[in-house]
Chains A and B, each alone.
Chain A
């Protein structure tokens, strides 16, 4: 394995579908760029990934091409060749899209993905990973490699909350440091009669960050292919920026340091 500094892997995961993983992953990547980091966004929703769709990218290569090359040309493999640049007004980040064909998606192997992510870590400050909503072999391997996991949830109705609870318990059972997992609530003010405090009690910890519902700006962002944090100022883009600032420690809040201590205690006494 090469020497050198390895970048941060920031994975966005959830156990309920359609909670906004892709949108959050894109905006996380985009905001990290605004903060001056060198960023690559990887779409691991292999079969029906929407990263390239949301960004209106016409990519030449996908993860499947990268996997093929890594297999046939182990020595000379350069993952950068397979990336597509997304640019907007002087900001840019790199994207490794999901395979174009479903047959290719079905044949992506977990070790290949691990290898590709490791290569990307050597080249980028941040590798942001979008996933599917399942505890698959691949997602588990990627979570193992991740520096930080944004576990995204929404509070709409009971089945979603049941799955969020199951997901939280399962992730905790994997034995990661408590600080590695950040439970983020999306679309917090959407129509629901369920109390957030009740959900937090059920999950056994408060949400690390809460993102407001902004259906219209989100839809517009998908239509125009421009991340929210670049194109508009609204409650959601403001909170997305705030979330990323907390990840990059630009804002050091009491809350996060105290949760660090408590997780340290938890580890000792568990």
Chain B
């Protein structure tokens, strides 16, 4: 499809600069350009544009977004700004814009923005799922990888994984990826990023084009040295990129896990049954989350390596927790280790196994909850 573009940019020099970028791209035709939004609203219809670029560094233009979407129902509206602002992003999407692009942009960034936002639009509200475990070796990464895949397939919408286990994240191994950029670079660069440029820090998963992953580090940076504010900004920006954001957290309570849980719509507490004191640890962790007034709805315990993986076991665990256990998963150690060892994705999408069925049920529940809103 060819794009017929209208560009609104108040600054004369910037207008020239952006115009030359758009003109230079195959498949894009710059039909008209204006310095004043009112001119575009009054005159733009002549050209039947299907893509409108609107400068929102002019504050009044923000309020004109609904008029643009009314006047050009067949066009996608992308807002342009010289800096990223999460509040503005939420506001423009609510008002009807498809996305947000930082200016000046390169041809590649522009094409990627159109590609990313053109399909589904920026997420006005995303379901953010944080995965917390009291101790390591909880089966959490296996859960996140498989659940993300199931969510991507079932919903058809954008799903992003953030591997926030800053020292020993395993998500890249699970999906057999070799990341060039990781969460550490994303946190470092976030000040200069927009959703589009952040998107390129998320790696594509082969054969699943609506699932992307921000991998953990290759070397352990000291978790304490990762600043929480930019980390939170990465999460917030990811929320505007994906309908579902899944965050794999380092074990225990630490600044990263606490802030990600705070930003989440749902926090899953995950532990692996191993004949030790896992249930006790989960109960203690739960006590902390009870500080949330809505913890009853927001916190979801999950136990992995539950054998036999039956509803009776789930009920028993719920009684032990004194709280409903949301899901249980059977022992998949051999499957996961065999896959990971052979450089295949350690995800299981065979249906009919207890593991896959329980993952799919969890995905249905999450998608259903989102639709309820």
Contacts and interface: CB of A to CB of B under 8 A. Distances in A.
Interface of A: 15-18, 45, 47-48, 50, 53, 102-103, 105-106, 132-137, 140, 156-159, 162-163, 166-167, 169-170, 191-194, 219, 222
Given A156-B337, A158-B340, A222 B275 contact: yes
A106 B253 contact: yes
Contact of A222 (B135, B141, B252, B276): B276
B224 to A, nearest CB: 5
Contacts, number: 91
B280 interface: yes
25 contacts: A16-B136, A17-B251, A18-B135, A18-B136, A47-B134, A47-B252, A47-B253, A48-B134, A48-B252, A50-B277, A102-B287, A132-B251, A134-B220, A135-B222, A136-B222, A136-B223, A157-B341, A159-B141, A159-B173, A159-B174, A162-B170, A166-B219, A169-B219, A170-B220, A222-B276
Nearest to A15: B168
Interface string B143-159: 00000000000000000
Contacts of B285: 102
B168 A133 contact: yes
B167 interface: yes
Given A157-B341, A158-B340, A135 B220 contact: yes
A132 B223 CA distance: 13
Given A53-B277, A106-B253, A166-B220, A159 B134 contact: no
B13 interface: no
Given A50-B277, A157-B336, A136 B284 contact: no
Given A17-B251, A163-B168, A166-B168, A48 B135 contact: yes
B275 A134 contact: no
Nearest to B134: A48
B137 A16 contact: yes
B281 interface: yes
Interface in B252-306: 252-253, 272, 274-277, 280-281, 284-285, 287-288
B253 A50 contact: no
Interface residues of B, number: 36
A192 B334 CA distance: 9
Contacts of A157: 336-337, 340-341
Nearest to A23: B276
B220 A102 contact: no
B282 to A, nearest CB: 10
Contacts of A140: 222
A90 to B, nearest CB: 28
Contacts of B134: 47-48
Nearest to A132: B252
Given A16-B136, A137-B222, A169-B219, 16 more contacts: A18-B137, A53-B277, A53-B280, A102-B285, A105-B253, A106-B253, A133-B136, A135-B222, A135-B223, A136-B222, A140-B222, A158-B173, A158-B340, A162-B173, A194-B341, A219-B275
